[in-house]
Chains A and B, each alone.
Chain A
Amino acid sequence: MKKPSLGRWLPKPRHLAIVPPFVWLALFLLLPFLLVLKISFADLQFGIPPYTPLAQVRDETLSLSLHLRSYALLFTDSLYIATYLNSVKMAAITTVCCALMGYPMAYYIARSRPGVRNVLLLAVILPFWTSLLLRVYAWVGILRNDGLLNSVLLSLGIIDAPLEIYRTDLAVYIGLVYAYLPFFILPLYANLVKLDLRLLEAAYDLGARPWQAFLRVTLPLSLPGVIAGAMLVFIPTVGEYVIPEMLGGADTLMMGRVMWTEFFNNTDWPMAAAVTCAMVTLLLVPLVLFQYSQVRQMEMRGRND
């Protein structure tokens, strides 16, 4: 029988240790998000700020006004729905491309000698030392009709007319895969490098050829790394703004660009806020899945120790 007492509700000293991160998250994540949520339920108006207040006191009456215009538009205007679907599609294709290219790279790095391994890892991380903006500009220089790629291909006589890559979806994919590949490789590498090689020997010993051992032992055991990498690529790609803006055509619909247009070109803050809220909800699902797999993995490891 537990006696109800005040002591139960007072924080214990050891709980105080987690106060700083909570304060940080509340100030810089929760509060801004609540502000955005508030704006998404406002209506447009001329002035500063360019949206109606949520609560007003006039004639001794407190009136709360929740405007659903933005959300209504979001679900009825085909532009927004198409943009969402396209963003998710582009993020998914980027993730698959990163997985197909990143898995062999991570595998090779993990199987290299320790000395070589560090050099290869450095090569993966090295691009981060330059600003993303500069690197994407470099891709503009490479992919433009009169850019590096086309000049080389033309001078070699492989093509007669320049390839139209710049300002197409293909250019966006190239940019996205290029920019996010390291985020896939690093967590997967961390997983693969821990793999007990005796498990592979056991598989060979039991009659598995190397590719069968890969499919039945290495691949299933590296799935947590694949999931972690995929999440790190998928989530930021959905809301990516810089790469589609700089490499994509006018018809490359992505959420980041729509938000930018609503906010800066149309000065429609409530609409931009509604798009943001919808995107956060959309991203919450994979995030929760990611968290779940991480927790499960940690539990497994905990039981193994």
Chain B
Amino acid sequence: MAENRSVAPGRSGDADEFVRMEDVVKIFGDVVAVQSVNLVVHRHEIFALLGSSGSGKSTLLRMLAGFEAPTSGRIYLDNEDITDLAPYRRPVNMMFQSYALFPHMSVEANVAFGLKQEGVPRNEIHERVFEALDLVQMAGYSRRKPHQLSGGQQQRVALARSLVKRPKLLLLDEPMSALDKQIRQKTQIELVKILEQVGVTCVMVTHDQDEAMTMADRLAVMTEGQIVQCGMPQEVYAFPNSRFVAGFIGSTNLFTGTIVVDEPDHVLIESDELARPLYVNHGVSEPLGMQVHVSIRPEQIRVARAQPEAESNWSRGVVSHVAWMGSHARYQLRLDSGAMVEAAVPSLVLAHADAPGLDDEVFISWSSDSATVLAS
């Protein structure tokens, strides 16, 4: 638990714990889908489980919904042990990946389904259904059948259906995966606005790091059934704790080197891939002489024609590819050592400088606070 406790709370500013998973393990036959996960989600927070397929993130979500029972471990929701509760008894609702709207029912009947099961009086059902449909701006479509709606409209109805019962916990399973790329970003922001308006605690599963960064207050990166890092998106992006996380959250350049100077306020790392040593302006826990990995984000790499004057933190290379992205240009550079480096150069910088072109000799450099030292 300790590693999660140190993490700052979400934007609600309210740190009380709402969902707690304790040593949760799930084994299917001889496959370990989830191994010993400890996780705390705070009240009113949007929490993202981020990982590629097979990382165990969906299994974790299905255990929160009650569709899978953990092999061992306990799950608590609002201080209540829900581990053995059937899905229809949990105050938890889920928006399914492809929405799973009932095809034989109208939009209104889909949203009313959960309230009817609860035995809510008829006029209250009507009121709450339209309240929920208003929230997602779908009230005008109440008589339509799901197949008469676009993907985005179906998603709104699915959201209304999962919110209408006022669940304590909302689960989103790959909420944007069935939408076109163009409308994804807009929908992500709208969805967050609706969730904040309702004030529901939300756990979402996604394989898309942009989606997790855009929507989540905090996220957990999963691989091979384990949480490898948990924290706020900007925190995880800036301070990844492993090569896996550094590569998974955004793109990065990784160098392998050895610590040659280990001081409390700085370290020097020599890498065969770089012409000059890496100077990092903070101490690290790894000992002298240890082989470490260093991650430098593409946007932190400067590209210039002139050789830097500093003793460290630069290398020489040749431009092998330039991709114009509009706001910036992505440079692929081949260093003298043969290592490939990616650099994102802002368009404004490019316009002022004498922009290097294909096959030009260039120097890359970075500041001493932009490198992250990774032991694994």
Of the candidate stretches A96-104, A194-202, A240-248, the one touching chain B is: A194-202
Which residues of B have CB within 8 Å of A304? 103, 147
> Quick check: A205 and B102 within 8 Å, CB to CB?
no
List, in ascending order, chain B residues with CB within 8 A of A196's CB.
100
A-B contact count (CB 8 A): 60
Complex Cα distance, B113 from A216, in Å, reads: 9
Q: Does B376 make an interface contact (CB < 8 A)? A: no
A207 at the interface (CB under 8 A from B): yes
Give A199-240 as 1s and 0s: 1 = Cβ < 8 Å from B's Cβ atoms: 101111111110010001100110000000000000000000
**Total chain A interface residues with beta-carbon distance under 8 A:** 20
Quick check: A208 and B96 within 8 Å, CB to CB? no
Could you say which residues of chain A place their CB within 8 Å of the CB of B93?
A: 205-206
Assembly CA distance A204 to B96 (angstroms)? 12
Using an 8 Å CB-CB cutoff, how does the interface string of B82-114 with A read, 1 for contact, 0 for none?
Answer: 000011100011101110111110000000011
B246 sits at the interface (CB 8 A): no
* Contact in complex: A203, B147 (CB < 8 Å): no
A201 to B87, Cβ gap below 8 A? yes
Given the interface contacts A212-B117, A300-B147, A304-B147, does A205 sit within 8 Å of B103 by beta carbon? no
In angstroms, Cα B145 to Cα A304, docked, is: 10
What does DSSP make chain A's interface, helix, strand, loop or mixed?
helix
Contact B88 A208 (CB under 8 A): yes
A201 touches B88 (CB 8 A): no
Q: Are A206 and B114 in contact (CB under 8 A)?
A: yes
Contacts of B114 in A (CB 8 A): 206-207
Q: Mark A168-210, 1 if CB is under 8 A from B, else 0.
A: 0000000000000000000000000000101101111111110
Residue of chain B at shortest CB distance from A301 = B147
CB distance from B57 to the nearest CB of A (A): 17
Partner of A205, one of B87, B97, B104, B148: B87
Contacts from A to B (Cβ < 8 Å): 196, 198-199, 201-209, 212, 216-217, 220-221, 300, 303-304
Chain B interface (Cβ < 8 Å from any Cβ of A): 65-67, 86-88, 92-94, 96-98, 100-104, 113-114, 117-118, 147-148, 161-162, 165
Task: Kindly list 20 other residue pairs between chains A and B, CB separation below 8 angstroms, not including A205-B65, A206-B113.
Answer: A196-B100, A198-B97, A199-B103, A201-B96, A202-B94, A202-B102, A203-B102, A203-B113, A204-B88, A205-B88, A205-B94, A206-B93, A206-B165, A207-B114, A207-B118, A208-B88, A208-B117, A209-B88, A300-B147, A304-B103
